Structure 1
């Protein structure tokens, strides 16, 4: 029988590596995609987009977006399954794990809205509303994902220590 956690985790990990790899030309041009996600204003977003266009990395931008759209379908599910699996083995902290099991799916919506806002800016130029939307989605997305990953690491350490 196939176990979904290892398969989803592997898919998420491979896609994460793909996101990092496709971001490399953007970083070399002067700005990472994360910088655009946190631009927060049309002025800052326009500077980032202009830097990328001047460097001729439009294909890398589009590839990064495509890989990230696939990534957002895998990492929340993998985190959810990891939280659920680990929560069943804990006394204290079990409630948080069960909460995170459901909450991490908000990352899918947040990441999707953020990607759409970025896509609008890629297609139609930087706009304050889209730059603000991308940032407003990126902040809770990264926070929630970091909370889930941190909780999973804590739960793993507790599990190793508990008989």
Structure 2
């Protein structure tokens, strides 16, 4: 076995498990918000100052405190999911002879773009929560839309790559 590959697999596993644990934490932090009718994703996609204000009022001060805490934990989650996805993409590419290197780099670029959009979105949401709604709510919406689009492409790539690898091993 290639020593580089043998070191890469445990790292990918550790980073992926860490990202998954943070995902569970993020869902736990979102639970009180959902109980009040709107999760953090609803604020990401509020789109208008009126809807954002409606969500913030529905949350009340305790919900806003939970959302604020969730946004700060999300910065760590971004590093974890970004690292996990890049390592998964790298691992898939190294194990499959049919995936062009340019596609691998493109997918890594989508992950980096998603993380940058996520950071920008969180900064916008922190501004919205501090009352700067007019200037930031639309930016948060666009960042969230493109972030989820980029991550969707990456997940489709990974699913397709795993299926391709499965076909390679059965042939």
**TM-score normalised to structure 2 length:** 0.86
2:29 aligned residue: 22
Counterpart CA distance in 1 for 2:154 and 2:23 is 16
Structure 1 spans left out of the alignment, 5+ residues: none
2:63 aligned residue: 57
2:138 aligned residue: 132
The answer on whether the counterparts of 2:64 and 2:129 sit within 8 Å (CA) in structure 1 is no
**Aligned residue among 150, 154, 160 for 2:156:** 150
The answer on whether the counterparts of 2:26 and 2:73 sit within 8 Å (CA) in structure 1 is yes
Displacement after TM superposition at 1:126 (Å): 5.1
Displacement after TM superposition at 1:19 (Å): 0.9
Alignment coverage as a number of residue pairs: 161
2:113 aligned residue: 106
Please tell me whether Structure 1 or Structure 2 has the larger radius of gyration of its CA atoms: 2
Q: Does 1:116 align with 2:123?
A: yes
Counterpart CA distance in 2 for 1:159 and 1:119 is 42
Over aligned residues, Cα RMSD in angstroms?
Answer: 1.8
Q: In terms of mean alpha carbon deviation, does 64-73 or 88-97 score higher?
A: 88-97
